[in-house]
């Protein structure tokens, strides 16, 4: 990556936050943190909430580029990316294809399987009965997930048969395809991606059943361990895997890859986040700090990717 860029070279920047997705609350926090960081470095940055404005207003605002801090559907799935491309406005992060694939857990996993990358076995389930059949094939416990939602919204760790109905309803209520995924028992890790580099890994530990919405945003019992405790060689191998998973879906700029390692130390890819959380307590900023990059510098590096190379 080239050296620092003068703030005026970025021009007028729209920080897209909020939106209409289930993750609106998280997006507003991410966007506000990004906005403050950009302004602290002299960038002419402005809050823009797509839930309250038409694309024409964005086009007429005289913006030179957009920092996308929208999470979930409409912001992380290729929709806003495609809209910005129609008006010729450069934006941060992945393009339409990678954004759509990253948001769609089913198709992302199919692509990884085709590329020979390890991801837990799964089945698409269209009814409670099909979920029951998946339990017979994949065995309990299972992770039951809406295929196109983020922040663990609608996800259940299905442990006992008597909880099947509640797990199905929680996932199906989100209005998307539902997948039943083999549960991997072991350590959970996340790899932040910045440009062509995987940042130091973070190991996640929670006393909850799994790393759910509460563990991510509302409790103070989650442990974020960085350095992650692996040997240098093992960590480097997992960073290479995360980069391969990220690049396999044509992701670019920045993001995060989540995975588990089973009891034998074998890694299993879970998902890609193409617009991860960006508060100063989020995982990507945490990994960046371990790399010696403070929050404002991280935000500028992400925005710098929108400039002509």
Pair 218, 275 in one domain: yes
Domain-located, residue 236: yes
> Rounded distance, CA 57 to CA 73, Å?
21
Q: Do 112 and 253 have their domain in common? A: yes
Question: Cβ contacts of residue 82 below 8 Å, gap of 6+?
Answer: 96
The Cα angle at residue 222 between residues 100 and 123, in degrees rounded to 5: 40
7-35 confidence digits (pLDDT tens) = 999 999 999 999 887 788 889 999 999 99
Strand arrangement of the beta sheet that strand 44-48 belongs to: 44-48, 12-16, 65-68
Q: What pLDDT is attached to residue 31?
A: 96
Query: Of 167, 182, 197, which residue sits at a domain end?
Result: 182
> Is the domain of 106 the same as that of 217?
yes
For residues 190 and 172, state if they share a domain.
no
Query: In this structure, are 178 and 51 located in the same domain?
Result: no
Predicted confidence at residue 215, as pLDDT, reads 45
Q: Are residues 273 and 194 in the same domain?
A: yes
Tell me if 296 is assigned to some domain: no
Q: What is the pLDDT of residue 211?
A: 52
**Quick check: is 214 in a domain?**
yes
Cα 249 to Cα 105: distance, rounded to the nearest angstrom: 12
Summarize pLDDT for 288-308 with one digit per residue, the tens: 999 999 999 999 999 999 998
Q: What is the pLDDT of residues 253-289, one digit of tens each?
A: 999 999 999 999 999 999 999 999 998 678 999 999 9
Looking at the structure, tell me whether residues 113 and 224 fall in a common domain.
yes
Among residues 159, 182, 205, which one ends one of the domains?
Answer: 182
Give 217-244 pLDDT, tens digit per residue.
556 668 899 999 999 999 999 999 999 9
Active-site amino acid positions: 23, 151, 217, 256, 258, 271, 273, 277
**Could you give the CA distance from residue 234 to residue 224 in angstroms, rounded to a whole number?**
18
Same-domain check for residues 76 and 189: no
Torsions phi, psi for 52 (to 5 deg) = -115, 10
Answer yes or no: do 162 and 190 share one domain: no
Give the Å distances, CA to CA, from 173 to 81, 127, 149, 177, 191: 26, 12, 11, 10, 30
Q: Which of 125, 123, 126 is nearest to 138 (CA)?
A: 123
User: Do 264 and 29 contact (CB within 8 A), yes or no?
Assistant: no
pLDDT for residue 153 is more than 80: no
Report residue 68's pLDDT band, with 50, 70 and 90 as the boundaries.
very high
CATH of the domain at 35: 3.40.50.20
- Whether residue 269 is found in the same domain as residue 209: yes
> Are residue 15 and residue 43 in the same domain, yes or no?
yes
Q: pLDDT at residue 174 above 80?
A: no
Q: What is the pLDDT of residue 306?
A: 95
Express each pLDDT in 196-221 by its tens digit.
999 999 999 875 555 545 545 556 66
Number of folded domains that form the chain: 3
Rounded Cα distance between 196 and 193, Å, is: 7
pLDDT at 1 over 60: no
Mean pLDDT value across the chain? 90
Structural domain span for residue 23: 7-92
Q: In the chain, what percentage of residues exceed pLDDT 90?
A: 70
pLDDT at 78: 94
Q: Quote the Cα angle for 301-283-83, to 5°.
A: 55
Identify the domain boundary among 182, 201, 232.
Answer: 182
The CATH number of the domain holding residue 110 is: 3.30.470.20
Same-domain check for residues 41 and 145: no
Residue 209 CB neighbour total at 10 angstroms:
12
Question: When comparing pLDDT for 196 and 172, which is higher?
Answer: 196
Question: What does the alpha-carbon distance between residue 11 and residue 204 come to, in Å, rounded to a whole number?
Answer: 38
Query: Distance between CA 122 and CA 106 in Å, rounded?
Result: 8
Per-residue confidence band for 50, with pLDDT thresholds at 50, 70 and 90:
confident
């Amino acid at each position: 990556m080239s050296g620092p860029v003068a703030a005026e070279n970025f021009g007028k920047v729209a920080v897209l936050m909020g939106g209409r997705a289930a993750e609106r609350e998280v997006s507003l926090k991410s966007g506000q943190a990004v906005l403050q960081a950009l302004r602290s470095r002299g960038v002419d940055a402005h809050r823009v909430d797509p839930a309250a404005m038409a694309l024409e207003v964005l086009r007429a605002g005289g913006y030179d580029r957009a920092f996308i801090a929208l999470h979930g559907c409409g912001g992380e799935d290729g929709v806003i990316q495609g809209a910005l491309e129609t008006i010729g406005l450069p934006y941060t992060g992945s393009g339409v294809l990678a954004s759509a694939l990253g948001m769609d857990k089913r198709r992302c996993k199919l692509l990884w399987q085709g590329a020979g990358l390890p991801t837990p076995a799964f089945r698409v389930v269209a009814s409670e009965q099909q979920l029951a059949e998946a339990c017979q094939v994949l065995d309990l416990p299972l992770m039951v997930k809406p295929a196109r939602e983020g922040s663990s919204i609608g996800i259940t760790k299905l442990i006992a048969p008597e909880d099947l109905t509640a797990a199905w309803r929680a996932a199906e209520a989100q209005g998307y395809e539902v997948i039943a995924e083999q549960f991997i028992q072991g350590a959970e890790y996340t790899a932040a991606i910045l440009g062509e580099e995987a940042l130091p890994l973070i190991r996640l530990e929670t006393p909850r059943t799994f790393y759910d919405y509460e563990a991510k945003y509302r409790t103070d019992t989650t442990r974020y361990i960085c350095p992650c405790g692996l040997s240098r060689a093992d960590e480097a191998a997992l960073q290479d895997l995360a980069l391969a998973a990220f690049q396999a879906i044509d992701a670019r700029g920045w993001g995060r890859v989540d995975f588990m390692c089973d009891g034998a130390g074998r890694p299993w890819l879970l998902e890609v986040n193409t617009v991860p959380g960006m508060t100063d307590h989020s995982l990507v900023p945490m990994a960046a700090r371990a790399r010696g990059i403070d929050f404002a510098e991280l935000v500028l590096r992400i925005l710098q990717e929108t400039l002509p190379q």
